[in-house]
Structure 1
Amino acid sequence: MPGLPRDYFVVLPDSVAGHAVAGHLPAPDATVAHPSGRPWVLARPLFRKVSHLRRGDDALVLIGPDRVPDAVLSGLLEGARDRVALERRLTRLPGLYHVVARLSGETWIRGTASGLRRIYHAPHTEAGTIASDRPAVLAHLTGAPLDDGALALRMLDFLPHPLSRRVLWRGVHETGAGYGLALPAAAPGTATAPGPREYRWWEPPPAELSLAEGARGVGDAVAASVRAHVGGLDRISCELSGGMDSTSLTFAARATGPQALSLLTVAARDRYSEDETWARRAVEEAANRSTPEAPAPDHHVIPADRAPYFYADLAAIAAELNDEPLPVAPGRARAHLLLSAAHATGSRYHLTGYGGDELFLGLPHAYQDLFHGNPFTAWNHLSGLRHQLGWPLLPTVKALLDRSAFPRWIAGAVTAELQPLSRTPLLSWGVRQSLRPWFTDHANALITEEFRAAAEHAEPIHPWRGRHVDIDAVRMGARHFQAMEDIGMTVGLPVAAPFYDDRVLEATLAVRLEERISPWRYKPLLAEAMRGVVPDALLARTTKDHMSSDEHQGLREHAPEIAELWTGSRLAEHGLVDARHLLRLAAEPFSPVLVEHSISSTVAGETWLRTAENAWPTSQLTPTTSEA
């Protein structure tokens, strides 16, 4: 069914109307019932596993990469008299699960602090509040129309907190990462339950550990996350780009003892690229350490001339309905090729290094935090970074001393002016973005108003701007990874990014800032965390390849397909883009305008909108329920 979310669950109220809502969904693969017998949680998890246990009227449902044994569920639920007590016990598990619980008649739901797993809710005219991990499902069940303001926002390259929570359908709301959603039960003798409320369940840990102490925690968390995904599987695969992130996960996966480990590398067109060289070194090191229990991995190198450029096969994006338009969508064909090759090896699970950059590379904004407590160390580190990036002295000092509040920054975070990012000190609450020349006045007005309205009530993720930006970057990356997961569903192969595990995020943030990142050392925390697992020779890499040339070349190679998008453009029908301007740019792929302004998010918005308009099939089956 093209465009239908293949993987989702829905949480329904305990009422006749709630039961009726269930009939508007395809038959579920798993159903957990209310004590009344009516459906409570309906799930079509595809690759994920649904684990559930009931004790009297209380119940716990976990939806994640592996089935949780009943004994573990019982240990979590027994004696947990309230939500806080249960949350403390859940920290024993890898932070990869959606949690749905019922305690003392109240249902509460949450995703993950990293944003990898999210929760949405919407009011139904008859049933009251229903919740799901997929906003398109709620839009279908409630008849919610698209929201042009949220759609216009998605034509920017990225959305900072809290605008990233703006859902594409009116009346559908996202619960913030780190927050849960409580759904109180109706009072005795009443038919209507109180409205939902959000509660905060996660706080980042204090950054107080040394590099050595923190590295042990990160290493343990990465190993546990990898085991949760692929532990016990006989055939698995890893994307081995040659970078430190993918190399670390390759050796962590190897430690789980699969009978067959397939490593996949996409060769680069750039003759100066070092990724393939480092990937081959990693394979050689793994082969040298092979044993009967851990045989040498198979290495599959996809030749560069087989790798699609960006913007290839745009029509195929309709095979997946992401929760939102994602700027990584133009790279779908490349990701599909790699995952198809992994699936062809017989792999039962595929691991990627997504999230490693956001966690371990470190962003300059963090030095604002360090400057408050240790100005000399902060300036020493920042001076090294400034010389590497070419930041002028006076603007750097001015940015470091700036104390603008978060709402003020949000209000001015978009501008019609071109932003010279290459020499702009990045020490604020985020990065300012430019409106695109092909946006209409209507789109510009919508975007500007969205930022202005957000500024009126905006609160940062954390009072310290560096920590705020660090966490926001992880959550942004986790959103983008959803596109890879959905492609994997199309291919028939589950895909995971263990670095987005909450336990990995927490272990990383617990390390002192001046030791976690450094201008003179590449990803020091990850290198120390994986020492003893990854050979030292591979942890010595200090470079990272980029694929910007493939994107620019893709604009030329696939100009006809891009031009076809703007003929009958849905975004133009919504009054958000100037289709004639975009058609001219499609005919001039090396235009200076496209060098200065990325078009990838606009392309993603166009393709997503076409998929969303045709998302649901006409035939629907009424599910049955079973008590749990």
Structure 2
Amino acid sequence: MTSTRAGGTATGFVALPDCALPQHVATHADRLPTIVRHSSGRPWLVGAAPADRVSIRCDDPARVVVLGAAPGTTHAGDPLAPPADCFLGSSAEGRTRLLGSASGLQRLFHARVQGVTIVSDRADILAGFLGAELDDAWLATGLIGPLPPHPLDQLVPWRGVTAVAAGDAITLTPDGRHRIDRWWHPPTSDRHLPAGAELVRTALESAVAQRLHATGGMPIGADFSGGMDSTSLTFLAARGDIPVVALTVRHIDPASDDAYWADRAARHLPRVERTVLDEAALPTFFSGIGAARADAPAATSRGSAVFRACADHYRAHAATRYLAGHGGDELFSTTTGYVHDLARSRPVEAFRQIRALRARRGWRRAEIARSLADRQSYGEWLAAAADRLERGDSKDPNPFGWGPPLELAPWATPDGAAAAAALLRSRAQSAQPLAPHRGIHEALQQIRSGAALYRLIRQEFSEPRIELPFLDDPVIDAALAVRAVERYDAYEYKPLLAAAMRDVVPDEILARRTKADTGPAWFRGLAAQRAALLERADASPLAAAGLVDRARLRAAIEAPALRFAAHLERTLDYDAWLTTRAGKDPT
């Protein structure tokens, strides 16, 4: 039942209730190693978990376990504190409670099997217990971009398997049932920038220090792209006593200035061992798309071969984990929903922000006025998006809505469009936002969407372990506690992170205002791998299901448009995952 991951140990656990198990469940559980037992002697957690990422405390009759973090790396060293990048479980008096992280990076699932609820960190493991089939309705999530909105992001590929929402805990009771309760709520956003920045810095310092401690004295890797997020983490790591192995990829495109900024930053890091890999020496994008190993489609079709090459570099330098800046964009980048809120509390500041956003995005005055006056509920916003998708209308007239405009993959068939619209409508009727106001809802949606992506990437590439400090609960709490009007600024780049890293990262590096993209490398990769990608399009499971027009998908590969890059990658990701699940992967 455990799931093999690329380059690492098989992992995945199942939590069992403290009661007599049905024979089917007991038989499946007996095939798995026991991690820890209830005080009754019954198995509690079974499966596989690396020994260096499990911490167990037994104070009979209670048991407390931390899974995913090295022992001693929970908040303030307290094993009862809420987890940062780990799962926390407790078992006492016949009840067992489990929770993941606030972002959803560590996520739980549950299923009802022969009258008892069992829990796992992987949906596919529970599907194995159930003998579950794929949910045909879920397939339509692959057509909705840029990413499925809440609550569609909670959907699971298999029938009978349900996700525990980020920030929720699940309790298994002695009668084999379960209940869900909320353990995390976003903080009140009432701190001013100076005090908030100090909290963010303290949280990041602690998050990086925990990772350094977890290496056991071995080197730690650091993605050192030149962007503000990865650069901040590298500077924090360099302040410790653990050797830092930094890695920069230098792109061919002369307009990409990431490596230039990494070069400037490296001059301030004499103790860091840095390697620069030229793009020409790496596999192209879209090469090496292999068997999918995650429990849902992971965003790896574009960069899987590059991921593996970088992982090989870290392993060659004895680094078993590396710091990555993923999550920084989701946490610190400007959203637009907060302007809708701001217009009601501080209209002068709202219009200052609108001037910058309008100049950047080309919004018309009329649509800005309509959007600011909009009073749609979240459910109404989803329903309106469903109507647009079914009509084939990609233009959202509401720039300050509840999230980024939802679009349909251009190669979706009429049946695909109808399925996506039906899925949205089915959830719109009862959907509640993640927070009452658009700004904080959109911020939470960004964090959860990013965490979902990186969770799956970590399943695909488990060794070396990808460490993501920006998605730690204390870092998220510290950032969201800052007033939105100071956390975001359309005229500045990540003002909260820049303020937090003052005196850690040199001012000349924090002054960067550009953000490079990999568009040219994307086109080169498509061109180099066109034949293999066309072969995949011909065998597309989404096309076989009637959701994707195979001819239009082929045309998108033969004459690609960067505007639809996210849609194309998403379709390739879903097709690769479905192909693997069907046992037909050509690799």
Aligned partner of 2:143 in structure 1 is: 155
Aligned partner of 1:279 in structure 2 is: 262
Aligned partner of 1:97 in structure 2 is: 86
Long gaps (5+) in structure 2: none
Shift of 1:558: 1.1
Inter-partner Cα distance in structure 2 for 1:433 and 1:36:
50
Tell me which amino acid in the other structure corresponds to 1:599: L
Aligned partner of 1:479 in structure 2 is: 452
Q: Within 5 Å, give how 1:420-439 maps onto structure 2.
A: 420=395, 426-439=399-412
Change (3 A) 1:425 1:134: same
Aligned equivalent of 2:170, options 178, 181, 200:
181
Structure 2 counterpart SS, 1:177: coil
Shift of 1:2: 11
Shift of 1:142: 1.0
Inter-partner Cα distance in structure 2 for 1:71 and 1:501:
10
Change (3 A) 1:114 1:435: same
Structure 1 counterpart SS, 2:311: helix
Aligned partner of 1:405 in structure 2 is: 377
The Cα offsets for residues 499-551 of structure 1, whole Å up to 9 and x where unpaired, read as 00011111000001111111222111111111122122211111110112322
Deviates more, 1:94-103 or 1:243-252: 94-103
Aligned partner of 1:198 in structure 2 is: 180
Higher relative contact order, structure no. (Cα contacts within 8 Å, ≥ 6 residues apart) = 1
Inter-partner Cα distance in structure 2 for 1:178 and 1:571:
32
The Cα offsets for residues 422-447 of structure 1, whole Å up to 9 and x where unpaired, read as xx663101123232343233332221
Inter-partner Cα distance in structure 1 for 2:24 and 2:72:
30
Inter-partner Cα distance in structure 2 for 1:500 and 1:27:
34
Long gaps (5+) in structure 1: 78-89, 187-192, 288-295, 616-628
Inter-partner Cα distance in structure 2 for 1:95 and 1:419:
38
| 2:245 is the counterpart of 1:262 | yes
Tell me which amino acid in the other structure corresponds to 1:606: D
Tell me which amino acid in the other structure corresponds to 1:51: S
Change (3 A) 1:539 1:8: same
Tell me which amino acid in the other structure corresponds to 1:138: L
Tell me which amino acid in the other structure corresponds to 2:275: H
Shift of 1:350: 0.6
Aligned equivalent of 2:360, options 351, 373, 388:
388
| 2:571 is the counterpart of 1:602 | yes
Aligned equivalent of 1:220, options 202, 227, 230:
202
Aligned partner of 1:10 in structure 2 is: 14
Aligned partner of 2:157 in structure 1 is: 168
| 2:295 is the counterpart of 1:306 | no
The Cα offsets for residues 552-573 of structure 1, whole Å up to 9 and x where unpaired, read as 3322221111111133332233
Deviates more, 1:593-602 or 1:35-44: 593-602
Tell me which amino acid in the other structure corresponds to 2:194: A
Inter-partner Cα distance in structure 2 for 1:447 and 1:238:
39
Shift of 1:252: 1.1
Deviates more, 1:345-354 or 1:563-572: 563-572
Tell me which amino acid in the other structure corresponds to 2:364: P
Give the share of equivalent positions with the same residue, in percent: 33
Aligned equivalent of 2:229, options 220, 239, 245:
245
Aligned partner of 2:435 in structure 1 is: 462
CA contact (8 A) 1:312 1:330 kept: yes
| 2:5 is the counterpart of 1:33 | no
Change (3 A) 1:225 1:595: closer
Shift of 1:223: 1.1
Aligned partner of 1:450 in structure 2 is: 423
Kindly report structure 1 stretches of 4+ aligned residues shifted beyond 4 Å. Answer: 25-30, 69-73, 592-597
Tell me which amino acid in the other structure corresponds to 2:580: T
Aligned partner of 1:84 in structure 2 is: none
Tell me which amino acid in the other structure corresponds to 1:404: Q
The Cα offsets for residues 272-317 of structure 1, whole Å up to 9 and x where unpaired, read as 1111011111111111xxxxxxxx1111111121233332122x2x
CA contact (8 A) 2:99 2:169 kept: yes
Deviates more, 1:571-580 or 1:388-397: 571-580
| 2:33 is the counterpart of 1:62 | no
Change (3 A) 1:596 1:280: closer
Tell me which amino acid in the other structure corresponds to 1:427: F
Over aligned residue pairs, what C-alpha RMSD do you find? 2.6
CA contact (8 A) 2:11 2:49 kept: yes
Tell me which amino acid in the other structure corresponds to 1:169: W
Inter-partner Cα distance in structure 1 for 2:189 and 2:392:
37
Tell me which amino acid in the other structure corresponds to 1:237: G
CA contact (8 A) 1:32 1:42 kept: yes
Change (3 A) 1:333 1:425: farther
Aligned partner of 2:533 in structure 1 is: 562
Aligned equivalent of 2:559, options 577, 589, 613:
589
Inter-partner Cα distance in structure 2 for 1:466 and 1:519:
14
The TM-score, its normalising length taken from structure 2, stands at 0.92
Structure 1 counterpart SS, 2:206: helix
Deviates more, 1:522-531 or 1:378-387: 378-387
Equivalenced residues, count: 574
